[in-house]
A and B are shown apart, each in its own frame.
Chain A
Amino acid sequence: KAGVTQTPRYLIKTRGQQVTLSCSPISGHRSVSWYQQTPGQGLQFLFEYFSETQRNKGNFPGRFSGRQFSNSRSEMNVSTLELGDSALYLCASRLTGIREQYFGPGTRLTVT
C-alpha cells in the first residue's frame, strides 16, 4: 500500500508570495493532519481535517489555512510568506478508529 505522498518535495518562494502544498493520504485514511517543523520550534501542529471538515487547529496565524477534498486529499496554503515560514511541512494521515498516524516525507519550503 502506498504511503502518504506530499508534493512538491522542495519549494523556494519569495517573501510576500503565497504557496500551496498538497498531501495525498494513505488509501482509506480520512484524517489528515499538518505539522510544521523548524529548528527553533520543533514539530508543531497546524491543523487536522476529517471528512472535509477542520477538526482541530493549532496556534498559527490566519495566513495558514487548509482544506480537504472528498477524496481525502488535502492542501495547505500559506499567504503573504515570511522568512520565518521556512520549514519542513509534514502531512500525516490516520485511519478512522486507529490511533497511530503515518507521516509523509514532507515539503521543504524555503522563503527568501
Chain B
Amino acid sequence: DAKTTQPPSMDCAEGRAANLPCNHSTISGNEYVYWYRQIHSQGPQYIIHGLKNNETNEMASLIITEDRKSSTLILPHATLRDTAVYYCIVREGSGNTPLVFGKGTRLSVIA
C-alpha cells in the first residue's frame, strides 16, 4: 500500500505557483520522498526526490518539513502543459525497491 496521502485534485491558474502537498507521517529514516507525474496516457515522468533537505531542479522544488512527515512539490510558474496526475512516493533509500503509486493528485492548470 502507498505510504502517502494526497488530495485527489487541485486547480491552479496558469502562471501561478502550484503547491502540491503530500503527507507521509510513517516515513522512516532511510526513506526518500519521490515525485512523479503522468500526463494523460503517457508514462510517468520523474520530477524530483529528496531525503530531508529542500531540493530544486529545473522542473520543480521539493520542500520537506523538518519532521519529514509531509512535503510540498512546488511548480513555480505552472503552464497548461503541467496538467497531469502528480504522485508522491516514499521509497527505501537504495532505490532497489519498487515504486508504490497511490492515487495521486490530479492538477488542472487553468488559463
Query: In the docked arrangement, what's the CA distance between A33 and B96, Å?
Result: 11
Prevailing SS type, chain A contact patch: strand
CB-defined contacts of B80 to chain A, threshold 8 Å: none
Q: Are B46 and A100 in contact (CB under 8 A)?
A: yes
Question: B residues bordering A, Cβ < 8 Å?
Answer: 32, 34, 41-46, 49, 87, 91, 93-103
Q: Are A55 and B43 in contact (CB under 8 A)?
A: no
Q: A99-B49, A100-B46, A101-B46 are in contact. Are A56 and B41 (CB under 8 A)?
A: no
Q: Are A42 and B34 in contact (CB under 8 A)?
A: no
CB distance from B29 to the nearest CB of A (A): 16
CB-defined contacts of A56 to chain B, threshold 8 Å: 96-98
Question: A residues bordering B, Cβ < 8 Å?
Answer: 4, 33, 35, 42-45, 48, 55-56, 58, 88, 90, 92, 94, 98-106, 108
CB distance from B10 to the nearest CB of A (A): 18
Q: Are A103 and B43 in contact (CB under 8 A)?
A: yes
Q: Are B44 and A45 in contact (CB under 8 A)?
A: no
**Total contacts A-B at CB 8 Å:** 55
Query: In the docked arrangement, what's the CA distance between A56 and B98, Å?
Result: 7
Query: In the docked arrangement, what's the CA distance between A35 and B95, Å?
Result: 16
Which of chain B's residues has its CB closest to A58's CB? B98
CB distance from A73 to the nearest CB of B (A): 17
Q: Are A106 and B96 in contact (CB under 8 A)?
A: no
Given contacts A4-B43, A56-B97, A101-B99, 8 further A-B contacts (CB under 8 A): A33-B98, A42-B103, A43-B44, A43-B99, A90-B44, A94-B95, A103-B43, A104-B43
Question: Can you name 24 A-B residue pairings with CB atoms under 8 Å?
Answer: A4-B43, A42-B101, A42-B102, A42-B103, A43-B44, A43-B87, A45-B98, A48-B98, A56-B96, A56-B98, A88-B41, A90-B44, A92-B43, A92-B99, A94-B95, A98-B95, A99-B34, A99-B49, A100-B34, A100-B46, A103-B44, A103-B45, A103-B46, A106-B42
